[in-house]
Amino acid sequence: MWDRILDSVLRKLVTVGDLSVTWPDRRVSRYGSGEEPRVAATIREHSAMRALCLNPVLALGEAYMDGRIEVSDDNLRPLLALLQRARETGGRMPAWIEAVNTARMALSTFLQRNTPITARSNVAHHYDISDDLYRLFLDEDMQYSCAYFSRPNMTLDEAQAAKKSHIAEKLRIEPGMRVLDIGCGWGGMALTLARDYGAQVTGVTLSRNQLATAKARAEAAGLADRVEFRLEDYRNVTETFDRIVSVGMLEHVGRPQFPTYFGKVAELLDPDGIALIHSIALSSRPSPTSPWIDKYIFPGGYVPAMSDLVPEVERAGLWMADIEMLRGHYGPTLAHWRERFEAALPQVREMYDERFVRMWRFYLVACETAFEEQRQGVVHLQLSKKQYAVPVTRDYLYTKDRALAQAAE
């Protein structure tokens, strides 16, 4: 029975590309238009078919992790790209699956409460596994967010440095300014703002691993007197700051906490201050978090749509000084991470079992293809309390680039 139901689901969903499925009884079925990409998958166990019918997004990831669905390393990326492209180009999921998604969205207020206790647990699930893993595939500065490929053929390290520079220019930092870094990670942004821009930076994180690494880096760089890292929930911060930066943190906040988040930014920002929020964002209607991502990678996470964010900025009483949508940057960032992860597999396998390897590969590939195939990018929200806290044109962002170009002539 489940094979017939799954066959029907695939025929309605896969309207592009060419998907070949080998069933447990060795039968082979073809789906799609017959065009590229051409990919193949083998379902090895009947239990996988039932799960795919009832909760396909969660089941596909779990069955790949467990080996109940076999997809060659070369086929995983094109397979996930094909499935996501099919959804974006008119492929239909069964009514019961859409109903479940609607219910999950309606329940998001409860499911993503992210209290101080659950927020710390959620962060530990992902970030406190091992700094050594992240060092294997991130850039030297351990930037775990979208890079900025401002020129063709940039290396990952160059693009991450360009990201930090782009953000710093938008913050318009002057020496001695007090800066709050909400969700400071391993400290790279805070250290850059202190070292290169003369700022006095306070970074807050809920990850014990990240805190320890960030503090050690500050000491090693001789910046411990200009950068303070704390294990602290942003909701408990009470000081005010000239500048606030938050990179890749908003996706962990949870939809119900958006009013609190932007309200806190407004509370902590000085009257003449500027805040820069860097976050993944959908250029489409709000949708629930992937159940697989929520269970295995980022529990409590939620990628906001722009329609989630703008009303909350308005309610916080902040100026939307500028909005920039960075398209076509996170896909290449994730491609770099995936390639580095695959190149480091011998070291990864010394630390983790094969199921973890397949889980992490699926995570990197699924995210990469999501940015390439769906209406998903990165938004920069530049916020202020006063209209003229930020220049009225973007020319100030590119003065340095023009000067460099003229010097090269």
Query: Is 223:196 a contact under the CB 8 Å cutoff?
Result: no
DSSP H or E run through 18: strand 18-22
Q: In the annotation, is 146 catalytic?
A: no
DSSP 124-191: HHHHTS-HHHHHHHS-TT---S-----STT--HHHHHHHHHHHHHHHHT--TT-EEEEET-TTSHHHH
Specify whether the CB–CB gap between 255 and 284 falls below 8 A: no
| Nearest-5° Cα angle at 14, 10 to 19 | 85
59, amino acid identity: A
Residue ranges with strand state E in 177-265: 178-182, 200-205, 227-231, 241-247
Q: Which residues of 101-120 are buried (b: 16+ CB within 10 A; e: fewer)?
A: eeeebeebeebbebeeeebb
Under 8 Å between Cβ of 121 and 47 = no
Residues 283/377, Cβ–Cβ less than 8 Å: yes
Q: Which one from 53, 146, 184, 367 is the annotated catalytic residue?
A: 367
C-beta separation of 238 from 201 below 8 A: no
Give the C-alpha separation, 263 to 108, whole Å.
20
Please give the positions annotated as active site: 367
